[in-house]
């Protein structure tokens, strides 16, 4: 692509262009952070309002039944199941990724072995597993990136949160079976971006974020996938009443719900859950193979233009998720200056500028213009201004 006109031609032919209208995006902003916090769909905003105003205000507690609140964790789970190649009853929406990792790894520890995670894995995955090891006495191993685990429970992101490297799920599962390793996949940066096929790959356990490509909103609950037969065998450590077979029997003994539903724990956050549930409807008509191809082309265009600015992505050619990182020693300030120019990405310490290329709401022209603004920020060196060098709590 050599000009804005070239990429505008791509936009005119883009079969996914129609999805943009489903989002409520601020005018003048080019949002390259949908991989971190997806933007709201109009349907989700309307659903939150309807839930707060009608179902909560007027329906009050009756809405657990009348508005189907109690069914939402399973209903939203079934919608996510389609996106990751699972059966509808194998996915439940609950809690955060951190808590779900604790529950799932805790449930799997019964079979023995160490808890392993790569040393460059997303920090919460490492912290939770190490905490679980302290609690249970199970050995904890921090592996070198790419090192194969030799048994035990292993947590692995399908798409790496910094590099966007995509793991080979099929090959890793085949190796894991030979070594008796149980892999918990963290699908946070994959679900909703490209078709995941847990069943096809033989993956039995996964967790993933609701607020990234699934656009569920800030702090949206996450999801747990457990393959059907495995779920029946497992007992999870936060045996809360919402994961019990009949919570409203109020009996003393805990009997887990059938299948993955036992991975629920406490009362679900309904206002968040309705937003996620509504946002998920967007994927009904979305072909995620097309989304994957578009994300790739969007990011390739940006990488080409960044190369002209002396920036190289941290990941070489090969499979890549939906985001791209560039190392820059002033990356934080450059990103702040870029945000001030209406292009929103984020920064990952120590020096990475991260840009996400969500295919359902971005146009090729957006990406072209974002690269123009990045060029301006670097050329003018406006990132040197003090206001762009003050770190916020969230980067």
* DSSP 8-state assignment for residue 121: S
Smallest gap, in angstroms, from Cβ of residue 211 to ligand PLP? 7
Phi, psi of 338 (to 5 degrees): -70, -40
Q: Which residue has the tokens 């904890």?
A: 140
Tokens of 226: 């457990």
Integer Cα distance of 110 and 321 in angstroms: 33
For the chain, the residue count is 395
Question: Taking CB under 6 A as the rule, does residue 122 contact ligand PLP?
Answer: yes
Integer Cα distance of 128 and 223 in angstroms: 16
CB closer to ligand PLP, 184 vs 301: 184
CB closer to ligand PLP, 206 vs 301: 206
By CB under 6 A, what part of segment 33-92 binds ligand PLP? none
Which listed residue (31, 122, 194, 283) is catalytic?
122
Q: Estimate to the nearest angstrom the gap between the alpha carbon of 122 and the chain centroid.
A: 12
Closest listed residue to residue 201, CA positions, set 166, 162, 170, 247: 170
Integer Cα distance of 386 and 383 in angstroms: 8
**Catalytic status, residue 212:** yes
Smallest gap, in angstroms, from Cβ of residue 125 to ligand PLP? 6
183 burial type by CB count under 10 A (0-12 exposed, 13-18 middle, 19+ buried)? buried
> Site mask, ligand PLP, residues 84-103, x = CB under 6 A?
------------xxx-----
CB closer to ligand PLP, 124 vs 395: 124
Residue burial 115-151, b: 16+ Cβ < 10 Å; e: rest: bbbbebbbebbbebbeebbeeeebebbebeeeeebee
**Catalytic status, residue 122:** yes
**Catalytic status, residue 354:** yes
Smallest gap, in angstroms, from Cβ of residue 148 to ligand PLP? 20
Which listed residue (205, 277, 354, 357) is catalytic?
354
Question: Looking at 63, 141, 157, 236, which residue binds ligand PLP (CB under 6 A)?
Answer: 157
Question: Taking CB under 6 A as the rule, does residue 222 contact ligand PLP?
Answer: yes
Smallest gap, in angstroms, from Cβ of residue 294 to ligand PLP? 21
CB closer to ligand PLP, 207 vs 333: 207
Question: Taking CB under 6 A as the rule, does residue 161 contact ligand PLP?
Answer: yes
Count CB-CB contacts under 10 A for residue 17: 16
CB closer to ligand PLP, 96 vs 299: 96
By CB under 6 A, what part of segment 168-197 binds ligand PLP? 186, 188-189
**Catalytic status, residue 120:** no
**Catalytic status, residue 211:** yes
Q: Decide: 165 and 185 in contact? Cβ < 8 Å.
A: no
* DSSP 8-state assignment for residue 258: S
Which listed residue (74, 156, 212, 262) is catalytic?
212
Q: Decide: 263 and 226 in contact? Cβ < 8 Å.
A: yes
CB closer to ligand PLP, 161 vs 225: 161
Residues in contact with ligand PLP, counted by CB under 6 A, come to a total of: 13
Question: Looking at 10, 209, 234, 242, which residue binds ligand PLP (CB under 6 A)?
Answer: 209
Count CB-CB contacts under 10 A for residue 284: 8
Where does this chain bind ligand PLP (CB under 6 A)?
96-98, 122, 124-125, 157, 161, 186, 188-189, 209, 222
Catalytically active residues, by annotation? 122, 186, 211-212, 354
């Amino acid at each position: 692509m050599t000009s804005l006109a070239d990429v505008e031609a791509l936009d005119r032919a883009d079969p996914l262009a129609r999805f943009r209208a489903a989002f409520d995006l601020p005018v003048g902003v080019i949002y390259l952070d949908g991989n971190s916090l997806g933007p709201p769909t109009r349907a989700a905003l309307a659903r939150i309002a309807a839930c707060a105003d009608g179902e909560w205000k007027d329906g009050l507690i009756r809405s657990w039944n009348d508005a189907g609140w109690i069914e939402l964790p399973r209903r939203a789970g079934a919608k996510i199941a389609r996106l990751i190649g699972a059966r509808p009853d194998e996915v439940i929406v609950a809690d955060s990724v951190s808590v779900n990792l604790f529950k799932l790894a805790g449930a799997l520890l019964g079979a023995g072995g160490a808890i392993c995670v790569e040393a460059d894995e997303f920090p919460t995955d490492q912290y939770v597993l190490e905490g679980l090891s302290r609690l249970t006495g199970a050995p904890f191993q921090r592996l070198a990136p790419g090192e194969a685990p030799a048994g035990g429970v292993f947590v692995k992101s399908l798409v790496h949160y910094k590099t966007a490297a995509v793991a080979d799920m099929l090959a890793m599962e085949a190796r894991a079976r030979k070594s008796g390793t149980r892999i918990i996949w963290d699908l946070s940066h994959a679900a909703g971006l490209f078709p995941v096929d847990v069943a096809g790959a033989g993956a039995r356990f996964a967790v993933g974020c609701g607020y990234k490509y699934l656009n569920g909103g800030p702090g949206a609950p996450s999801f747990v996938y457990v393959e059907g037969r495995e779920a029946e065998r497992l007992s999870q450590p936060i045996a809360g009443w919402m994961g019990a077979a009949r919570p409203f029997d109020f009996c003393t003994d805990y009997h887990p719900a059938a299948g993955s539903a036992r991975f629920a724990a406490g009362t679900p956050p309904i206002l968040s859950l309705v937003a996620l549930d509504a946002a998920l409807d967007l994927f009904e008509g979305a072909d995620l193979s097309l989304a994957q191809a578009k994300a790739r082309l969007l990011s390739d265009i940006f990488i080409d233009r960044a190369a002209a600015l002396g920036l190289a992505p941290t990941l070489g050619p090969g499979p890549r998720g939906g985001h791209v990182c560039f190392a820059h020693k002033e990356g934080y300030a450059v990103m702040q200056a870029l945000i001030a120019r209406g292009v929103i990405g984020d920064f990952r310490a120590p020096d990475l500028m991260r840009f996400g290329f969500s295919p359902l709401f971005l146009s090729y022209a957006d990406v072209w213009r974002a690269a123009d603004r990045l060029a301006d920020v670097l050329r003018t060196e406006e990132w040197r201004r003090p206001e762009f060098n003050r770190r916020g709590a969230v980067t």
